[in-house]
Amino acid sequence: MTQNQGYSYRHVLGPKSAGHSTLSYLTNYFPHSTEAEWERRLEAGEIVVANKSADGREPLKAGTVLTWNRPSWIELDVPMDFSVIYEDAHLIAVDKPSGLPTLPGAGFYKNTLLSLVKENFAPARPLHRLGRATSGIVLFALNAESAAILTHQWPNIQKQYQALSTAVSDCCSYDIRSPIGELDHPRLGKVYAATAAGKRARSVARTLERREESTVFEVDLHTGRPHQIRIHLAFIGHPLVGDPLYATGGIPRGDQPGLPGEGGYWLHAKRIAFDHPESGNRVDLTAPLPKTLRCD
């Protein structure tokens, strides 16, 4: 267990805040805590709206900054190691273990990949994130110029994953184009899932190995929607083995649905290829596969 030093969560209010008081907004849009818990935080002076301590009754409007100055808390133990795959003056790429959150959130602040990387690479800024249970390559820029260039080219950067899915595949490849958007979730209010009302998304999955009751897929990402691979493989009838959240069809499970950050599944970001922000030379990086995902 690790005792951190607290964290300030900064949130810019959107159009949905209209008509809400601070208390009703927090209760409705951050249901990980009860109304009584938010009331206690307001009474303790932890919530700030437009640079003023909030009492919970003030009306909100879009564009206002709401901040929760969370006091220190004890974080759960997670794997606290990573390996550097690539390093130069402009960027680094690291291999994140499964179980280590990439960024602060969901009860984690100090026990994150970002915190660990910054101990040795202070200017590092992540260009993307992997889910807590997902292992593999995470790319960081070491200066603002590199971050801007790589962010601009991000849609064209090649990103390849390997996953273990339920059921034995019938096809050699699948071009999956189900849109991804938000659906209702009994514990979180909303989660991302397959829905015709969502945003355009595309993944190309290739069968690498058929096992007795599962399939190892290699997946190319052509868009970057939240939980895209988990949703898309579930959409075609191959939810990840052990995925607590997504069922066949790419929708939340109906039987005690889990949370997005919960683990138990195997998904690995194994390859990323891009043009170097300074030299323009092609950089092609890979991260070793976990044993469970290796094919004979």
pLDDT at residue number 89: 96
Q: Tell me the pairing of strands 74-75 and 52-53.
A: unpaired
Asked if 78-155 and 160-265 have one fold, the answer is: yes
**Topology of the domain comprising 2-74:** 3.10.290
| Per-residue pLDDT at 221 exceeds 90 | yes
% of the chain surpassing 70 pLDDT: 98
| Mean pLDDT, residues 78-99 | 95
Domain ranges of the chain: 2-74, 78-155, 160-265
Q: How far apart are CA 28 and CA 189, in angstroms?
A: 8
pLDDT in tens, 243-293: 999 999 999 987 766 766 677 899 999 999 999 999 999 999 999 999 999
73-76: list long-range contacts, CB under 8 Å, 24+ apart.
73/3, 73/4, 73/6, 73/107, 74/1, 74/2, 74/3, 74/4, 75/1, 75/2, 75/3, 75/4, 75/107, 75/108, 75/109, 75/110, 75/111, 76/1, 76/107, 76/108, 76/111
Q: What is the pTM of this model?
A: 0.84
**Topology of the domain comprising 160-265:** Pseudouridine synthase (3.30.2350)
Q: How confident is the model at residue 75 (pLDDT cuts 50, 70, 90)?
A: confident
CATH architecture for residues 78-155: 2-Layer Sandwich (3.30)
| Mean pLDDT, residues 176-201 | 90
pLDDT at residue number 259: 67
Q: Is 289 helix (H, G, I), strand (E, B) or coil?
A: coil
Q: Is 189 helix (H, G, I), strand (E, B) or coil?
A: strand
Q: Tell me the pairing of strands 135-141 and 267-275.
A: parallel
